[in-house]
Amino acid sequence: MELNSKQVTIIETAEKLFADRGYDGTSVRNIAEEAGINVAMISYYFGSKEKLLEALFSYRAEGTTQKLVSMLANKVLNPLEKVNMMIEYYIDKFYNQTSFHKIMSREQVASRRSAIAGLIQGFKKRNQQLIKEIIQEGQKAGYFTKNIDIPILMSTLIGSISHAVTTQHFYREINNLQDMPEDQFQKMMKKKLNAHFKFIFKAILTHEV
């Protein structure tokens, strides 16, 4: 789907508001006002509020899978290095697209907007398949142990990052970091989370610490 600049503005405004207030907590009027456009434009360009949400998913999901593909096709890295790369990639992705992931983590729970649920499910399935392949590659090559439950492992990665990102303010508060500048805080968190998950994945995949 080709998007003109006005459509992109709408989508990105919607993303911000959906993340802050939820899909149902955001009205098309809110979006229109924030984006500085006419209310009718949303129906005009996207057909409906729900279709706008779908468009947002397509907009953000596009590229993700292909990046994962190209990254994992790398011939030089060994399986553990690939896994570490994937960890880095996910942490970056969540921090760079916080709003989008807030929406996604909310929407995958709700069973109502089926078109969206289908999109998310398909998206996650594709990505998990890719990751499964690296891990199996590592298992075949003798790097990784057998009996690894990949969905649970991915839940650990994605669920944890998601939780950490969406509750950043809580982390700041509990550690008295309210005044640390956002970029410095993010840099620190990324570093900590990278070390944390690389340690965990190594332990699980190789039974070594």
Partner DNA sequence: GATGAATGAGCTTTCATTCAT
Partner DNA sequence: GATGAATGAAAGCTCATTCAT
For binding to its own copies (CB under 8 A), which residues are involved?
A: 19-25, 102, 105-106, 108-112, 121, 124-125, 128, 149, 151-152, 155-156, 158-164, 166-167, 170-171, 173-175, 192-193, 196, 199-200, 203-204, 207-209
CA dihedral of residues 190, 192, 197, 202 (deg, nearest 10): 130
Two structure tokens written together for 95: 């921090």
Contacting DNA within 41-100 (CB under 7 A): 41-45, 47-50
CB of 98 to its own copies, least distance (A): 10
Task: Work out the number of other CB atoms within 10 angstroms of the CB of residue 40.
Answer: 10
Q: Is 35 in the site for DNA (CB under 7 A)?
A: no
Two structure tokens written together for 25: 């907590």
CB of 131 to DNA, least distance (A): 36
Q: Is 9 in the site for DNA (CB under 7 A)?
A: no
Could you tell which of its own copies, DNA, none binds residue 109, using a CB distance below 5 to 8 A set by kind?
its own copies
If 0-12 CB within 10 Å is exposed, 13-18 middle and 19+ buried, where does residue 81 land? exposed
DSSP string, 136-180: HHHHHTTSS-S---HHHHHHHHHHHHHHHHHTHHHHHHHTT-TTS
Nearer to its own copies, 67 or 122 (CB): 122
Torsional sign, CA 156, 162, 192, 198: positive
Could you tell which of its own copies, DNA, none binds residue 96, using a CB distance below 5 to 8 A set by kind?
none
CB of 40 to its own copies, least distance (A): 13
Nearer to DNA, 44 or 170 (CB): 44
Q: Is 34 in the site for DNA (CB under 7 A)?
A: no
Could you tell which of DNA, its own copies, none binds residue 200, using a CB distance below 5 to 8 A set by kind?
its own copies
d(CA 190, CA 195): 9
Two structure tokens written together for 69: 């593909």
**Which residues form the interface with DNA (CB under 7 A)?**
4, 6, 26-30, 37-45, 47-50
